[in-house]
Amino acid sequence: MNAGELPPLVLLPLAFALGAAVGSFLNVVIHRVPRQLSVVSPPSHCPACDAPIRWWQNVPIVSWLTLRGRCAACGTRISARYLTVELLTGLLAVALARRYGVSFEFVSGFVFAAGLIALTWIDLDHRLLPDRITLPGIVAGLALAPLRSHGAPLDGLSAAALGVLVGGGSLWLVAWLYERMTGREGMGGGDIKLLAMIGAFLGWQGVLLSLFLGSVVGSVIGVGIMIARGADTRLALPFGPFLAIGALTTLLQGEALIAWYVGTLG
Ligand SMILES: [Zn+2]
């Protein structure tokens, strides 16, 4: 038995623990990167009372639950987002481990998913997709391409490079046309770099499918909010989280979706 064939009873809890631990780090990234702070120092401390957070108060998921979402020193509420991000990262690691086993595809998919989770919450908070995440994301997607591809390494790399061009290029073109026609700035440069990063990990078909799925989900939710709040059509939702939903769906189910689509065409 090689490492790629760990029994699910071992593999899936391990994947969940890894995901939850990385999710805990992502919470630090989400808080600090948009504030231009270092993600490694100083060590975690309560933002309200500055009390350092001890290691046993920093166990993913468990600590938040046992402390009931409060700082152990001063009792200030700790946002449920910390728990949400840890749970979500853990569950995505499990889904990726089920799909890919112990493999470079798992590593690549997990790095990608972690980046998307951090970008999603930063975009929700600040309407910002920091270069500090998207640009290394593009590089990571390209660097991991030869390892995760089943074909020749160079084919994997060229597929990823094409994904960057199609992803970044298609959104750049849409943004350029939108601006020419309306005189208003539509999509930001951050969205373009995010889509280039998605292309680096998913290739050109994957990035187009991600853009399509993200636009559909974004439109449905946008229309839902418009109906709920009245006809405020200028309500600008950040696009990054929807692109992330499209990309994660493509990462986990893209081949099935593309096969289904091609099948319905006959
Ligand atoms: Zn405190």
- 45 bridge partner residues: 52
Residue 169 Cα to ligand 1 midpoint, Å, equals 46
What lies within 8 Å, CB to CB, of 141 at 6+ separation is 108, 112, 160, 163, 164, 197, 199, 200, 201
Residue 164 Cα to ligand 1 midpoint, Å, equals 43
How does pLDDT run across 167-193, given as a tens digit for each residue? 999 888 888 887 888 777 766 789 999
Residue 24 Cα to ligand 1 midpoint, Å, equals 18
Residue 165 Cα to ligand 1 midpoint, Å, equals 46
Mean pLDDT of all residues in the chain? Answer: 89
State the Cα torsion 27-28-34-40 to the nearest 10°.
-160
Phi, psi of 88 (to 5 degrees): -65, -45
Phi, psi of 77 (to 5 degrees): -65, 140
Q: Is the whole-model pTM more than 0.75? A: yes
Mean pLDDT, to the nearest integer, of 196-205?
96
CA atoms within 13 A on the CB side of 64: 18
Residue 23 Cα to ligand 1 midpoint, Å, equals 21
Residue 145 Cα to ligand 1 midpoint, Å, equals 43
How does pLDDT run across 228-263, given as a tens digit for each residue? 877 655 556 788 999 999 999 999 998 888 888 888
Note the pLDDT of residue 1: 45
Residue 57 Cα to ligand 1 midpoint, Å, equals 12
Residue 77 Cα to ligand 1 midpoint, Å, equals 8
Note the pLDDT of residue 232: 59
CA atoms within 13 A on the CB side of 20: 15
The C-alpha atoms of residue 47 and residue 74 are separated, in whole angstroms, by 10
How does pLDDT run across 128-149, given as a tens digit for each residue? 999 999 999 999 999 999 998 7
**pLDDT at 44 exceeding the cut of 60:** yes
Q: What burial class does residue 106 get, using C-beta atoms within 10 Å of its C-beta: 0-12 exposed, 13-18 middle, 19+ buried?
A: buried
Residue 5 Cα to ligand 1 midpoint, Å, equals 44
Residue 150 Cα to ligand 1 midpoint, Å, equals 50
* Block residue for tokens 């090689």: 2
Q: What is the DSSP string of 172-238?
A: HHHHHHHHHHHSS--S-HHHHHHHHHHHHHHHHHHHHHHHHHHHHHHHHHHHHHHHHH-S-TT----
Domain locations along the chain: 1-102, 127-266
